[in-house]
Homo-oligomer: A and B are copies of this chain.
Amino acid sequence: MKYLIVGGAGFIGSYIVDDLLSDEKTSLIRIYDNFTSGKHWHLAHHSGDSRLEIFHNDIYDAEIFEAAKNIDVTILLAANPDIAKAVTEPDIDFKQGTVLTQITLEAIRQAKCPRLLYASGSGVYGDTGDAWVAESAPMEPISTYGASKLGCEALISSYCHMFGLCATSFRFGNVVGGRQTHGVAYDFIRRLQLDPTYLDILGDGSQSKPYVHVHDVVKALKLMLKQQVTTYEVLNVAPDDFTTVTEIANLVIAEMGISNDSCELRYSGGARGWKGDVPIVRLNTSKIRSIGWENSCTSTEAVRKSVREMISNLEFLYKHA
């Protein structure tokens, strides 16, 4: 099998590369990445593997049309990973997500690549409170991040129906793991490294969401790689539980060996971390469970595991390359 992974040097992408390269049926993995949030160290351990081809390019470069040639499955992961940035740069998700997806779709349509897996997110639903939302729930995004994910899903759906593509959109909960490049625990570790006596927390700390470990994300992608793909499918992917931001703060403090008493939690206050943040997320994942997926970690276990992995990666974690 030959794969094109757009954003393949990033957090989720590099774990998929690890998994696919361990499979002898994988004959080619083409990575298309501009390395703004993708990192070379994510892939360094595969430098000897001739099945790995890396295109270091922007999506606007004509190379994407070359990279899409003779590919069996495209995995589209690239997008702005810094969700809160849209507060000051309102079109960042449009440019780095929606436009990127439109160009990718045109490249794979022209190259006749038959299959696509797309990393969407729970942001498509908007602020749905403590309702456990299934894939058919109404969608009213409250962030440009969520708007971009919904816009991309819509584009992919239309390309499936008009141009014969088969695709799955995965609405992931918050994905965590040892090579994160953004995220709440990632930020907490960095701040506590600089000063372990206090921790600034956006909002009131009660924001509660499901956290899915990247290994469980890879399991979901692999499941749909194996399955006969219907024309177009959407799947929620997350543990059916949640963790609060305060719990994550305490967990990071403990894992870093800092005494709870010596670290002050300083809350900025308010229900939301930032404009566009959804404070409560609950995902109904019956659909993907019915076709054979299950999570190996609960939300709290996923966060703990990812914190330990990030701490073991500290040497590389905050590097730009």
Would you call B142 and A139 a contact (CB within 8 A)?
no
A126 within 8 A of B: yes
Nearest first, the 8 A-B pairs at minimum CB distance are: A151-B151, A142-B161, A147-B158, A147-B154, A150-B154, A136-B138, A144-B158, A147-B155
Segment from A13-21, A90-98, A202-210 that makes contact with B: A90-98
A-B contact pairs, 7 of them (CB 8 A): A90-B162, A98-B98, A126-B157, A135-B138, A141-B157, A143-B158, A151-B152
Would you call A162 and B102 a contact (CB within 8 A)?
no
Chain B residues within an 8 Å CB radius of A127? 161
Chain B residues within an 8 Å CB radius of A102? 91, 94, 98
- Contact mask A47-90 → B, CB, 8 Å, 1/0? 00000000000000000000000000000000000000011001
A301 within 8 A of B: no
User: How many copies of this chain does the complex contain?
Assistant: 2
Question: If the complex has contacts A94-B155, A98-B151, are A276 and B162 also in contact, measured as CB distance less than 8 A?
Answer: yes
Mark out the residues of chain A between 97 and 147 whose CB falls within 8 Å of any chain B CB in the assembled complex.
Answer: 98-99, 102, 105-106, 109, 124, 126-127, 135-136, 138-147
Shortest beta-carbon distance from A27 to chain B in Å: 29
Closest to A110 in B: B90
| Complex CA distance for A127 and B161, rounded to whole angstroms | 10
Contacts A90-B105, A142-B157, A151-B155 aside, 6 further interface pairs with beta carbons under 8 A come to A141-B158, A142-B161, A143-B162, A144-B155, A150-B150, A150-B154
Would you call A140 and B155 a contact (CB within 8 A)?
no
Would you call A162 and B144 a contact (CB within 8 A)?
yes
Mark out the residues of chain A between 161 and 197 whose CB falls within 8 Å of any chain B CB in the assembled complex.
Answer: 161-163
Chain B residues within an 8 Å CB radius of A98? 98, 102, 151
Chain B residues within an 8 Å CB radius of A146? 154, 158
Shortest beta-carbon distance from A197 to chain B in Å: 34
A226 within 8 A of B: no
Closest to A109 in B: B90
A319 within 8 A of B: no
Question: When the two chains form the complex, which single residue of B87, B150, B161, B232 contacts A162, counting CB atoms closer than 8 Å?
Answer: B87
A25 within 8 A of B: no
Chain B residues within an 8 Å CB radius of A105? 90
